[in-house]
Copies of this chain bind each other. A is one copy, B any other.
Amino acid sequence: MTAERRAAEFDAADPLAGYRERFTLPEGVIYLDGNSLGALPKTTPEVLRCVVKKEWGEGLIRSWNSAGWFEAAGRVGAKIAPLVGAAPQEVIACDSTSVNLFKLIAAALQMCPGRKVILSESGNFPTDLYMIAGLEAQGLATRRLAERERLIDALDSDVALLLLTHVHYKTGAMHDMAALTRAAHEAGALVLWDLSHSTGAVPVDLNGASVDFAVGCGYKYLCGGPGAPAFAFVAERHHPSLSQPLTGWFGHAAPFAFSDDYAPAPGIEQLLCGTSPVLGLAALEVGVDLIAEIGVGRLHQKSQALSEFFLQSLDAQGAVLECVSPPDSGARGSQLSFRHPEAYAICQALIARGVIGDFRDPDVLRLGFAPAYLSFADIAAAAGHLAAVLASGEWQRPAFSQRTTVT
């Protein structure tokens, strides 16, 4: 049976097939970069139009109360919570992933007096490592990096926090959250998980694993739009002792008392800093609602089926490419990454054919399989294009090797 025939059968049997119609996808494009920027939910433009024209334009300042703007950060956080195994009052949507990392690394340092080491993985997503560096430059932290398989050995009594990305941005490899969290706790350290490449694509059980802190991105699988607000999680048991340095007025217990002295809000709201970004939160809420409606369990199941079908289709066409993602689909996120010395040019050749993946320095072609809106037919076609690019050598055209900035 051809890949196309099999794809048609899979699509016919796919319980999520109907959700594709809930997203805008451009004609002639197979979008394998939803792990970098999620697609646009079809209802987002109308929701934003209403927030802008009605709530801002007509309601003006009154909308902070009447349109629920004050509650938006907590409301969206509470909707994200069940997607990551958290309670509603443990998650808040605010700032960027980077800024939230800073808050929670600093919070961990304050909770572990006498320990200054923040342990992370070499090759972790840069912003995770850079935010540790920022606190290191302030003299407050010491960054320690270990290779993936040496992380547990690197846990000692100096470590305040183990900071890891659950699904690796480059390879898609997924850490064993429960085991690493347990090991860190046994060493007396706290744990902070970056869920940017997990949330909305793979099941996460923060409370099941007794995780202390987490952050995540709003613009990848949550489809919140470019530069969407991020989210932060703090286990409820830590709320009473929580202290973070970005103590802005929106995190105050009584912002409109306009007191000279800071007093943190009692719960997760103390992670708020400046005024909430209302437009960004409105767009994020649409994406979160839609992903929650589909359900992470079903999304993960389809994600595994999509990536396995991609590998089978590639193999059936005789294409040989070194896959650097874990071979077991249960051990990776919703992506496949391939190593090739000319990965950049191959990525460009695919884009020219309408298949949008991305390139990660120096030699990785990364293909994301956002299960909410991709069909098996997309996967069969994308595998066909990749096999054809490799077989034809068309990536060797000079135009494809000229570097331009890409995300």
Contacts and interface: CB of A to CB of B under 8 A. Distances in A.
Contact of A230 (B40, B228, B274): B274
A310 interface: no
Contacts of A341: none
Contact of A102 (B24, B245, B257): B245
A87 to B, nearest CB: 25
B36 A61 contact: yes
A61 B33 contact: yes
Given A133-B247, A258-B361, A356-B60, A273 B225 contact: no
A320 to B, nearest CB: 26
A61 B225 CA distance: 10
A252 B246 CA distance: 21
A330 interface: no
Nearest to A284: B279
Interface stretch (A120-128, A199-207, A389-397): A120-128
A124 B59 CA distance: 28
A127 B95 contact: no
A53 interface: yes
A260 B123 contact: yes
A243 interface: yes
A52 B56 contact: no
A247 B57 contact: no
Contacts of A130: 247-249, 252, 262
Q: Most chain-B Cβ atoms within 10 A of its Cβ — which of A106, A138, A229, A283?
A: A138
Given A39-B60, A134-B247, A69 B226 contact: yes
Nearest to A65: B405
Interface in A270-304: 273-281, 283
B53 A40 contact: yes
A44 interface: yes
B99 A134 contact: no
A226 B262 CA distance: 23
Contacts of A2: none
Given A49-B49, A227-B279, A56 B33 contact: no
A31 B60 contact: yes
21 contacts: A33-B60, A45-B53, A48-B279, A52-B225, A96-B277, A98-B250, A98-B274, A98-B275, A99-B246, A99-B274, A102-B245, A102-B273, A126-B260, A130-B262, A131-B248, A134-B244, A137-B247, A170-B258, A227-B277, A227-B279, A256-B361
Given A61-B356, A64-B226, 14 more contacts: A24-B53, A29-B60, A48-B279, A61-B407, A95-B96, A98-B248, A98-B274, A99-B274, A127-B274, A130-B247, A137-B243, A226-B279, A227-B275, A277-B280
